[in-house]
């Protein structure tokens, strides 16, 4: 078994990486199962986490053959793209290490919550690779992205939160992620999808117009919780 999936509440899918002996090193089976979870069109919110507090993932399994490592890498980049383009909100709950491909799962997600012992590392140039350069600038800025990708240094939870690499530090990240997911799943599905799409637009004028167009049809009615609203912000 490489991941454990469950549906803790309607519209919420949880997928926990489950190769604890290897710190959840990613093999072909794992990345393909993760891809299937993220492509689940019934999901409103997807939580990615781990069955162990030691690590989200130590990255691609280095015990694989060169050909298999290359295939895992290709499928991972497809997974990151799907995470960014799916209408579902993807939440990562991190305890322990997130290295290489595991760290990229973080930056491909929409919301990140980590335990105080979290350690994040974008280990790439030491292996002749570019890791994280595509997604870090939008989270931490260009200069910090250069720092993290070229020095390959470890970043603890406190620094990650300070620079915008994670949104929350919680003693029980999975528990917090589940509460967050349940609240989001009760919001208007079209509004949540629109917000994710608009936030991902690089051009602020294009984003402004997309938000205007989405809101053009609003009739001024605020849905009750039973009709798909939420008291999340109260």
- In the predicted model, is pLDDT for residue 233 greater than 60? no
Give domain limits for the chain: 3-184, 187-227
- In the predicted model, is pLDDT for residue 42 greater than 50? yes
* DSSP 3-state of 161: helix
Place of tokens 């799962």: 105
| Tokens of residue 93, six digits | 């709950």
Distance CA 83, CA 200 (A): 12
Phi and psi angles of residue 192, each rounded to the nearest 5 degrees, phi first? -65, -45
Percentage above 70 pLDDT, the chain: 95
Residue 234 has a pLDDT of: 41
Return the CA Rg of the chain: 18
Task: Report whether 45 contacts 189 (CB < 8 A).
Answer: no
Phi and psi angles of residue 124, each rounded to the nearest 5 degrees, phi first? -135, -65
Task: Report whether 106 contacts 154 (CB < 8 A).
Answer: no
Distance CA 30, CA 76 (A): 10
Residues 6 or more apart whose Cβ sits within 8 Å of residue 212 = none
Distance CA 3, CA 48 (A): 10
- In the predicted model, is pLDDT for residue 191 greater than 70? yes
The third-level CATH classification (topology) of the domain covering 3-184 is: 2-enoyl-CoA Hydratase; Chain A, domain 1 (3.90.226)
Mean pLDDT of 155-170: 98
Whole-number average pLDDT of the chain: 94
Question: Residue 72: which of 19, 9, 7, 139 has the closest Cα?
Answer: 19
Q: pLDDT (tens digit, 9 = 90+) per residue, 107-157?
A: 999 999 999 999 999 998 988 999 999 999 999 999 999 999 999 999 999
Residue 224 has a pLDDT of: 58
| Tokens of residue 52, six digits | 């162990």
- In the predicted model, is pLDDT for residue 232 greater than 60? no
Residue 226 has a pLDDT of: 46
Distance CA 159, CA 181 (A): 25
Residue 229 has a pLDDT of: 55
Residues 6 or more apart whose Cβ sits within 8 Å of residue 182 = 8, 9, 12, 45
Q: pLDDT (tens digit, 9 = 90+) per residue, 216-230?
A: 988 888 865 445 555
Residue 230 has a pLDDT of: 56
């Amino acid at each position: 078994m490489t991941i454990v999936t469950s549906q803790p509440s309607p519209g919420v899918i949880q997928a926990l990486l489950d190769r604890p002996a290897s710190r959840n090193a990613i093999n072909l089976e794992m990345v393909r199962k993760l891809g299937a979870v993220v492509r689940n069109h019934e999901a409103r919110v997807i939580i990615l986490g781990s069955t162990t507090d030691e690590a989200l993932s130590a990255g691609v399994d280095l015990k694989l053959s060169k050909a298999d490592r290359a295939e895992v890498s290709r499928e991972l980049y497809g997974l990151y793209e799907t995470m960014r383009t799916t209408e579902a909100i993807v939440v990562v709950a991190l305890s322990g290490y997130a290295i290489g491909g595991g760290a990229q799962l973080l930056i491909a997600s929409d919301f990140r919550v980590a335990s105080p012992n979290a350690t994040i590392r974008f280990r790439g140039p030491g292996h002749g690779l570019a890791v994280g350069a595509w997604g870090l600038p939008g989270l931490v800025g260009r200069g910090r992205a250069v720092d993290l990708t070229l020095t390959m240094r470890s970043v603890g939870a406190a620094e990650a939160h300070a620079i915008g690499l994670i949104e929350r530090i919680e003693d029980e990240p999975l528990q917090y992620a589940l509460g967050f997911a349940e609240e989001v799943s009760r919001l208007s599905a079209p509004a949540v999808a629109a917000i994710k799409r608009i936030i991902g637009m690089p051009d602020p004028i294009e984003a402004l117009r997309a938000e205007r167009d989405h809101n053009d049809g609003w009739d001024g009615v605020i849905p009750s919780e039973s009709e798909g609203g939420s008291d999340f912000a109260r």
